[in-house]
Structure 1
Amino acid sequence: MTDMLSENEVAQHADLFSKFDPLIKMRADLLSTGVTDPFGLVMERVLSPTVAMCNGRETILLGTYNYMGMTFDPDVIAAGKQALDDFGSGTTGSRVLNGTYSGHKAVEQALCDFYDMKHAMVFSTGYQANLGIISTIAGKGDYIVLDIDSHASIWDGCKMGDAEVVPFKHNDIEAMEKRLRRIPEGAGKLVVLEGVYSMLGDIAPLKEMIAVAKKYGAMVLVDEAHSMGFIGENGRGVAEAQGCLEDVDFVIGTFSKSVGTVGGFCVSNHPKFEVMRLVCRPYVFTASLPPSVVATACTSVRKLMHAGDKRAHLWENSKTLHKGLTDAGFELGTKEPQSAIISVIMPDLERGAGMWEALLHEGLYVNLARPPATPANMTLLRCSLCAEHSAEQVQQIIGMFTRAGKTVGIIA
Structure 2
Amino acid sequence: MTDLFSKFDALIAERQALLDSGVRDPFSLVMEQVVSPTEAIISGKRTILLGTYNYMGMTFDPDVIAAGKKALDEYGSGTTGSRVLNGTYQGHREVEDALKDFYGTDHAIVFSTGYQANLGVVSTLAAKGDYIILDADSHASIYDGCYLGNADIVRFRHNSVEDLDKRLGRLPAEAGKLVILEGVYSMLGDIAPLKEMVAVAKKHGAMVLVDEAHGMGFFGEHGRGVFEEAGVADQVDFVVGTFSKSVGTVGGFCVSNHPKFEVLRLVCRPYVFTASLPPSVVATAATSIRKLMHAGEKRAHLWKNSRRLHHGLRDLGFALGTETAQSAIIAIILPDQETTVRLWQALLELGLYVNMARPPATPAGMYLLRCSLCAEHSDEQVDEILEIFAKAGAATGYLSSRAA
TM-score (norm 1): 0.97
Separation of aligned partners in 2, 1:30 and 1:138: 42
Aligned to 2:210: 222
CA RMSD of aligned residues (A): 0.5
Cα deviation for residue 400 of structure 1 reads: 0.4
Gaps of 5+ in 1: 1-9
Cα deviation for residue 31 of structure 1 reads: 1.1
Aligned to 2:392: 404
What are the Cα deviations for residues 125-168 of structure 1, in whole angstroms up to 9, with x where unaligned?
A: 00000000000000111100000000000000000012100001
Count of residue correspondences: 400
Separation of aligned partners in 2, 1:56 and 1:246: 50
Superposition misfits of 4+ residues, deviation over 6 angstroms: none
Determine which of 181, 195, 208 is the counterpart of 1:207: 195
Say whether 1:22 aligns with 2:10.
yes
Separation of aligned partners in 2, 1:191 and 1:392: 42
Separation of aligned partners in 2, 1:25 and 1:187: 46
Determine which of 146, 152, 163 is the counterpart of 2:134: 146
- Residue 134 of structure 1 contacts residue 154 of structure 1 at CA under 8 Å; is this kept in 2? yes
Cα deviation for residue 289 of structure 1 reads: 0.1
Separation of aligned partners in 1, 2:234 and 2:3: 51
Determine which of 7, 10, 21 is the counterpart of 1:33: 21
1:52 counterpart SS class: strand
What code does the residue aligned with 1:268 have?
A: S
- Aligned identity (percent) is 72
What code does the residue aligned with 2:311 have?
A: K
Aligned to 2:164: 176
What are the Cα deviations for residues 96-119 of structure 1, in whole angstroms up to 9, with x where unaligned?
A: 000000000000000000000000
Determine which of 325, 329, 332 is the counterpart of 1:337: 325
Cα deviation for residue 232 of structure 1 reads: 1.0
Say whether 1:359 aligns with 2:347.
yes
Separation of aligned partners in 2, 1:246 and 1:164: 27
What are the Cα deviations for residues 61-104 of structure 1, in whole angstroms up to 9, with x where unaligned?
A: 00010000000000000000000000000000000000000000
- Residue 346 of structure 1 contacts residue 410 of structure 1 at CA under 8 Å; is this kept in 2? no
Say whether 1:280 aligns with 2:283.
no
What code does the residue aligned with 1:163 have?
A: A
Aligned to 2:52: 64
Aligned to 1:387: 375
What code does the residue aligned with 1:223 have?
A: D
Say whether 1:136 aligns with 2:113.
no
Cα deviation for residue 29 of structure 1 reads: 1.6
What are the Cα deviations for residues 328-356 of structure 1, in whole angstroms up to 9, with x where unaligned?
A: 00000000000000000111111101100
- Residue 173 of structure 2 contacts residue 204 of structure 2 at CA under 8 Å; is this kept in 1? no
What are the Cα deviations for residues 208-260 of structure 1, in whole angstroms up to 9, with x where unaligned?
A: 00000000000000000001011111100000011111110000000000000
Cα deviation for residue 409 of structure 1 reads: 1.4
Determine which of 273, 294, 300 is the counterpart of 2:288: 300
1:246 counterpart SS class: coil
